[in-house]
Structure 1
C-alpha cells in the first residue's frame, strides 16, 4: 500500500449513490497488487501519478491515453508532484547514489535532473504553464532552501532564501512566477510565504497561532494552506493578497487543511476529527463538507475543468481516480458571508513541511499525505 496514511475522502453525496469518475479502467494501468495515486491533472486530462509495487518501490508515471513510465535518474524510485498544461511533469527521482533529485520530464525527452543548491538532494514540487519548476534542495551547509528554475525551467537553481531561519520549502508557482511555500523564522517557527519576482519573500502570517504553511497559488495570486490558531488547532486558510481568511471557522470543527485551488478559485482540502478524515470543497461561495465513506479516499488536485483527482481505497490499496467538484454533500455555510470576506478563493502538494535531520530524512506532512524520504548516509 502506498505510504500515505492520512485518509482524505472527497465529494460524496450523503444519502445519494456516488461514484468517482474513473480515469479509464480503474487506476493508472497498474498490474496485480500494485497500487496507484493520481497526483495532478491538467486541463487536457493528462495525469501525473505514482504506482507502487508490492515491494514498496514507487514509480513516477504519466497517463496520457496510455501509461507512460517516466523512469528514474539511475536509482530505484521516483514520484511525480505536478503537471502543467503542456504535459511537463515535475517530481523527484533517485540517482545511482541513492540521492533524491528534482526532475522535469518533457514529452519526447528523457528525465532531466534539476541539480541542487550545493548539497546532495533536491525535490521538485510544482511547475508553471511556462515550465518554471519550484521545490527545495540541500544547500552546502546541509539545510533545505526553496528554489526556482528560470521562467522556462532552464538554468541553474535559484535559492529563494528564508524568513530569517535555516530552512524553506517551495510548494507551488503560478503563471506570473509567484511562488508559495513555507519558511522558517529566526525562532524556528514555520510561516507560509509568498515570493514575487523582484519583491522577495514575504511572511503571510497566521490565524493567531505560531506557524502556517502555504500549499498552492492560482493565477489570480490567491494563496491557500493551513495555519495554527490560538488554541493550537490547524485551520485551512485562503489569503486574498490582503488578509488571511479562516476557512476552518466556516467548517466549525476539527483540524482542516486546504490542499489545492484552481483558476476559478475553487478549493479542496481535508478535515481531521479524531481518527476520522473528512473533506471539503469551497465552491461558488459555499463550504461543503463530505463525510467519510463517499467519493475519493485521497484528494490531490483540482483542474480548470473541475476534475478532482486522487485515489479511491479498494481492496486495501489505493487506486487512482477522478471525480467532478460539483458533487454535493452537507452544506455547512452559505456563500454571501464568505464572498464578502474574499474576492477570489482557492494547493502537490504539500501541506505542513517538517524537517527532521535526526532521522536523516524529511517528513512532508500535509492534509492528505505523509511521505518520508530517506537520505543516504554520507
Structure 2
C-alpha cells in the first residue's frame, strides 16, 4: 500500500492547514485506542492510551498487539506503516522531547534525529522507505524533512519561517506546505535534485499538498478567490480544480492511488461532512463512513481506508472504489468454487457422454446409408 497512508485518527487536513507551534504530536484523543494506518497485509498501527492518558505506539498483527516502546520517555504513537512492515511515528526521549522514529521488526525503534532543534515528527513513509515529516530548527520554527534511512534532509521553506511535509512517494518526492516571505502557507513539491517548488493556487492565497502517488501526481487543497477551500489535483503541468465539481461547501483532497483515483472530504456551511471519490473525470459525493469523510486515504489498488469508532475504539474500514477483475478471492469465494466444482464436473461428464452417444449413432446411420 503506497506511501503508508497518513494519520487517519487525527485528520491530515488539520495538520496541513493549521499553524504548528513546534514539532509535537496532535492533541490527545479521548478514545483508549486509535488506528493510524493499515498496510496491504492487514497490519494495523496506532496507539493505546492508559487511564492517565499516556500513549504507547502499538502494532496489531493477526489480532496480536505489540507495544513498540519509546525512546526513553513515557509516551509514543505510530503514524504510518508501509507494506514492508516499517513503522514510523514519534516518541518521547529521556529529556521528554518528541522525536521522530523508525521501527523495524527485529531492530526496534530508532531515533531519526532533528534539524538542530529539540523535536521532530514523522508523518509518512513510502514503499521504498523514505520518511517525511517536520522537525524543529530552533525553539520557534520547524522545517519539512525527508529521511533516506541514513540522513535527515532539511527541505527548507518558500521564503518564510516554517514548512512541513505530509507525504512522500517511492522516488523520494515530498509534498506539504511552506510559508512564503509574506507568511502565507503554500503547497509545495520537493523533487530530489530539483529542490522545493511552489505549486499554484486556485485563485486564493493559501494552499497545501496532502498526498502524492508514485507517478508524481499531487493532490491537496487551495483557497479560491472567494475564500473557499477547493480540492485540487496537479499533474505536473496544470492545476485541476476538483472542488469546482462539487457545487457546495469546502472540499479537501486527502489521498490519491497509483492510477489517479482521489479521495477527500466535503464540508458544508452547517458543519455536515461528506466524502468524495474522483475517478476518470467523474466526481462522486457520498455520505461519510464514520470518520472517512474527514480523514480518508486510498491505497495503490484503489481501496479507501478509514476508521470507524465503536465503544471508544477506532477500527479500520476498507471500501473498494470498484470491483477489480484481479482482486484476490475471499474465503467465501473459494468455498463457493469448491462447492460447485463437483456439480460442474458431474454435468460435464453426463453431457459429454450424451454427446458421444449421439455422435456415434449419427456416424452409424451414415455408414448404413452408404
TM-score between the two structures when normalised by the length of structure 2 = 0.74
Matched, 1:35 2:32: yes
The Cα RMSD (Å) is 2.6
User: In the alignment, which residue of structure 2 is the partner of 1:96?
Assistant: 94
Higher RCO (C-alpha 8 Å, min separation 6): 1
Over 3 Å counting, the alpha-carbon distance change for 1:280 and 1:217 in structure 2 is same
**Cα distance in 1 for residues equivalent to 2:42 and 2:175:** 25
Q: Structure 2 stretches of 5 or more lacking a match?
A: 1-7, 15-29, 324-370
Matched, 1:84 2:82: yes
User: In the alignment, which residue of structure 1 is the partner of 2:284?
Assistant: 288
User: In the alignment, which residue of structure 2 is the partner of 1:366?
Assistant: none
**Cα distance in 2 for residues equivalent to 1:3 and 1:174:** 21
User: In the alignment, which residue of structure 2 is the partner of 1:137?
Assistant: 135
Note the alpha carbon deviations across 1:45-65, whole angstroms, 9 max, x for none: 322223334433332222222
Q: 2:205 aligns with which of 198, 210, 215?
A: 210
Matched, 1:173 2:168: yes
Q: 2:219 aligns with which of 215, 220, 224?
A: 224
Matched, 1:52 2:49: yes
Instruction: Choose between structure 1 and 2: higher helix proportion.
Output: 2
User: In the alignment, which residue of structure 1 is the partner of 2:300?
Assistant: 304
User: In the alignment, which residue of structure 2 is the partner of 1:249?
Assistant: 244
Q: Aligned-pair distance for 1:294? A: 6.2
Checking the alignment, whether the CA contact within 8 Å between 1:194 and 1:202 is kept in structure 2 is yes
Spell out structure 1 runs of 4+ moving beyond 4 A. Answer: 2-8, 292-298
Over 3 Å counting, the alpha-carbon distance change for 1:279 and 1:56 in structure 2 is farther
Q: 2:117 aligns with which of 108, 115, 119?
A: 119
User: In the alignment, which residue of structure 1 is the partner of 2:186?
Assistant: 191
Checking the alignment, whether the CA contact within 8 Å between 2:251 and 2:267 is kept in structure 1 is yes
Over 3 Å counting, the alpha-carbon distance change for 1:71 and 1:154 in structure 2 is same
Aligned residues: 299
Q: 1:64 aligns with which of 61, 64, 74?
A: 61
TM-score between the two structures when normalised by the length of structure 1 = 0.73
Rg larger in structure: 2
Q: Aligned-pair distance for 1:125? A: 1.1
User: In the alignment, which residue of structure 1 is the partner of 2:147?
Assistant: 149
What SS does the aligned partner of 2:244 have? helix
Over 3 Å counting, the alpha-carbon distance change for 1:101 and 1:178 in structure 2 is same
**Cα distance in 2 for residues equivalent to 1:249 and 1:230:** 13
Over 3 Å counting, the alpha-carbon distance change for 1:88 and 1:4 in structure 2 is closer
Over 3 Å counting, the alpha-carbon distance change for 1:296 and 1:223 in structure 2 is closer
What SS does the aligned partner of 2:124 have? strand
Note the alpha carbon deviations across 1:252-298, whole angstroms, 9 max, x for none: 21111111112122211111112211111123432221225768566
